[in-house]
Structure 1
């Protein structure tokens, strides 16, 4: 039986880890070491715009009161917090592979939390109405396997929303993004938080610069069986991917 070819979100970044097999261990360790500073880093990065944008996109894609939602790579709970305001806190489960991030999330957000990998979701088939992921798709090891796992745990007709940041099509916008995310944010993060926080944001930028295109992400969602796949872009760099599990 031929093994399906992996679809990583970006090539191996050898300045951070040795090979593809080392990627997840590096990412988990990096997020564990920066968890206590992450909300401060996010405030620097988002300039205060993140909260309303997350809530707007969740509503736009169809999250509603009473939905059961899984927030993958929940981190400190930035997306889950907005989802709980819409769906209600009892309907939200946050999942992350980093125990450090889950510990930070647990301090401020009264939702159920699970430590697990995005590709190996420990839930039965057809369990959720909605699945979200905020700015973490670049950190999985295989896009196709991840999307297959997402589709499996969604109810027929359930919705997925993936928020990401990516390369800009316009050279000027890309140059500004590179200067801000590639230089300013890592420097400020190192000063305001820690040396590890600076490395996190340097890695963050490198994964953006090397990530596959939005068209590739849309195509992989469709190959994984999602229907009505849509791609939204804001300010040329903020990307949102949405789709529905087959209604059967």
Structure 2
């Protein structure tokens, strides 16, 4: 049964797709077409918050040696690559809806990969010690349904980590982000990678600028049933949402 109170992370963006049902088709297509360039353009986009930040947040959220990890929207494996320094690669499953991205991930990492939608996880209940998602929450259809699915696959006491980038509270910083992420990054991506890469980075910025506020995301996590819901913010724009599945 469809959720009676769906919560999309941002409204429909008609510059890229006309309605909600076209969103998944657009996202899968644009990521497939840019998969071979993604690591290159990510280095431009990330503002220096690369490997050290992902590893730091994974450790802070509770990932330890021996833990099983489901990395949702794994893409080319940027989060999974850092997770593999904290737990065995055999314990990591990377999930993504884009076969092109998964092909790139397979070339880099000896982890299991699964092609599936973040909102329809093909895993048993209580099967994962931790679930991570790096900079992809803005691409799901419904936060409420997504978070309920995440809660379901985690073991009691399991941890959740969602990395995202959001609007800055400071008008000055937001103006810089709009210029750098909204103009410079798409331009450089188009020059150094491909025209589709420019479209992807322009889309990235539009989803950031129109995304619901962090307070709403925290509330959605609580409503889904997560405990110890919290957020760590770095540089005013990089948000690490963390939560735990209760043991009751």
Unaligned segments of structure 1, at least 5 residues: none
Aligned residue in 2 for 1:81:
81
Aligned residue in 2 for 1:169:
169
Pick closer, same or farther for the CA change 1:134–1:20 going to 2, 3 Å. Answer: same
Pick closer, same or farther for the CA change 1:170–1:48 going to 2, 3 Å. Answer: closer
Q: Give the Cα–Cα distance (whole angstroms) in 2 for the partners of residues 173 and 132 of structure 1.
A: 27
Confirm or deny that 1:50 pairs with 2:57. no
* Cα shift readout 1:21-58 (whole Å, capped 9, x = no counterpart): 11111011010010000000011112443100000000
Task: Please give the secondary structure, in 1, of the residue aligned with 2:141.
Answer: coil
Between 47-56 and 225-234, the greater mean CA deviation after superposition:
47-56
* Cα shift readout 1:189-227 (whole Å, capped 9, x = no counterpart): 000000000000000000000000000000000000000
Task: Please give the secondary structure, in 2, of the residue aligned with 1:158.
Answer: strand
1:246 Cα shift? 1.5
Aligned residue in 2 for 1:90:
90
With structure 1 as the length reference, what TM-score do the two structures score? 0.98
Superposed CA RMSD in Å reads 1.1
Q: Give the Cα–Cα distance (whole angstroms) in 1 for the partners of residues 99 and 44 of structure 2.
A: 23
Pick closer, same or farther for the CA change 1:101–1:2 going to 2, 3 Å. Answer: closer
Whether the aligned pair in 1 keeps the contact of 2:227 and 2:245 (CA below 8 Å) is yes
Kindly report which structure 2 residues correspond to 1:1-248, keeping only aligned pairs within 5 A, or say none: 3-248=3-248
Task: Please give the secondary structure, in 1, of the residue aligned with 2:225.
Answer: coil
Q: Give the Cα–Cα distance (whole angstroms) in 1 for the partners of residues 10 and 2 of structure 2.
A: 23
Q: Which runs of 4+ in 1 moved over 6 A?
A: none
* Cα shift readout 1:50-102 (whole Å, capped 9, x = no counterpart): 10000000001111000000000000000000011101111100000000000
Whether the aligned pair in 1 keeps the contact of 2:127 and 2:153 (CA below 8 Å) is yes
Task: Please give the secondary structure, in 1, of the residue aligned with 2:222.
Answer: helix
Unaligned segments of structure 2, at least 5 residues: none
Q: Give the Cα–Cα distance (whole angstroms) in 2 for the partners of residues 47 and 237 of structure 1.
A: 11
Whether the aligned pair in 1 keeps the contact of 2:3 and 2:145 (CA below 8 Å) is no
Q: Give the Cα–Cα distance (whole angstroms) in 1 for the partners of residues 163 and 3 of structure 2.
A: 29
How many aligned positions are there? 248
